[in-house]
């Protein structure tokens, strides 16, 4: 178990039974990001609210309905407008009904919403989605690619490599975790992303962390595994945040198990990556992409 290896204090969230410490992960990146990893020795966790997918970290329509306690509000409205049973209803009966209505209203007005930062007063937010939007401003994500068949992705090369001068860093879940220096006030979780239909699927309002391990089905080609990070010290979700994310110190010697060079790269670039790795003291293999491109 991960908790046994890293201690009870560090217990990454794993939401897939097929995910373990030996699960292979890949990070496609351009040369600048690769050199930053090698020399600055950090991984940047980007703020969840900064991603292009507007549904990132957000509830589905069904989650929104259940999380907003609309059923309870409907119950209050019906009870408030429902007439007394009959003119013969006793004073005690009327009083009990009025007390029940007041209690229902009070419960609704003072209800809390479960988040990864603890319960939040619903009255401080316009609706349930507003709560999750505020949460996503304080949750940071590091995205990796994983594929059970270990097949390269041309889409990942094009989108995240950004051109011929790009590489793919190879690692495992365990090595990524071991490489990170996590401050005591930070929680980190690892999990495979599920791709869902936000109109029809249900994630679960009682497990708010799951919102950050789901994405729109339109991004299924990414086959993403991610590490999610957040502070345990945050007291007010509505406090403005200026940072775009969090930089976490890593030991690249532990993290990097191999480096693959873009299928579009020239020989000089491959030689450059080999030289960079050698001069930096790395003994990991540097290989070429197996994707055969037509030479023009």
Pairing, β 24-30 against β 166-172: antiparallel
The pTM of the full predicted model, rounded to 2 decimals, is: 0.83
User: What are the sequence ranges of the domains in the chain?
Assistant: 2-61+139-288, 63-129
- Is residue 222 within 8 A of residue 214, CB to CB? The reply is no
Question: What is the sign of the dihedral through the CA atoms of 267, 253, 283 and 21?
Answer: negative
Over its length of 296 residues, how does the chain's per-residue pLDDT go in tens digits?
344 444 434 445 555 556 678 889 999 999 999 999 999 999 999 999 998 888 888 988 888 877 776 666 666 566 655 555 455 567 777 777 677 677 767 767 778 888 999 988 888 888 888 999 999 999 999 999 998 777 788 889 988 887 889 999 999 999 999 999 988 889 999 889 999 999 999 888 888 999 999 999 999 999 999 999 999 988 889 888 989 999 999 999 999 999 999 999 999 999 999 999 999 999 999 999 998 887 65
Query: What are φ and ψ of residue 124, in 5° steps?
Result: -85, 0
What burial class does residue 194 get, using C-beta atoms within 10 Å of its C-beta: 0-12 exposed, 13-18 middle, 19+ buried?
middle
């Amino acid at each position: 178990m991960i908790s046994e290896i890293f201690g009870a204090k560090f217990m990454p969230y794993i939401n897939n039974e097929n995910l373990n410490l030996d699960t292979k992960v890949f990070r496609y990146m351009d040369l600048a990001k690769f050199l930053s990893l090698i020399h600055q020795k950090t991984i940047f966790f980007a703020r969840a609210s900064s991603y292009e997918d507007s549904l990132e970290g957000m509830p589905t329509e069904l989650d929104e309905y259940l999380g907003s306690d609309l059923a309870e509000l409907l119950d209050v409205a019906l009870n408030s407008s429902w007439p007394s049973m009959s003119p013969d209803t006793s004073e005690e009966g009327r009083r009990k009904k009025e007390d029940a209505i007041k209690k229902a209203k009070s419960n609704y007005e003072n209800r809390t919403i479960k988040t990864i930062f603890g319960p939040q007063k619903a009255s401080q937010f316009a609706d349930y989605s507003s709560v999750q939007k505020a949460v996503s401003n304080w949750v940071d994500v590091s995205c990796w690619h994983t594929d059970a068949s270990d097949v390269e992705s041309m889409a990942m090369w094009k989108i995240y490599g950004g051109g011929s001068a790009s590489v793919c860093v190879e690692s495992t879940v365990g090595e990524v975790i071991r490489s990170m220096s996590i401050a005591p006030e930070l929680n980190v979780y690892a999990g495979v992303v599920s791709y869902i239909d936000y109109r029809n699927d249900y994630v679960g309002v009682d497990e708010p962390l799951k919102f950050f391990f789901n994405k729109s089905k339109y991004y299924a080609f990414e086959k993403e595994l991610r590490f999610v990070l957040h502070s345990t010290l945050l007291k007010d979700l509505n406090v403005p945040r200026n940072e775009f994310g969090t930089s976490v110190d890593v030991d690249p010697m532990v993290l990097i198990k191999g480096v693959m060079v873009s299928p579009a790269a020239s020989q000089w670039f491959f030689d450059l990556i080999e030289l960079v790795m050698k001069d930096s003291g790395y003994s990991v293999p540097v290989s070429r992409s197996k994707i055969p491109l037509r030479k023009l």
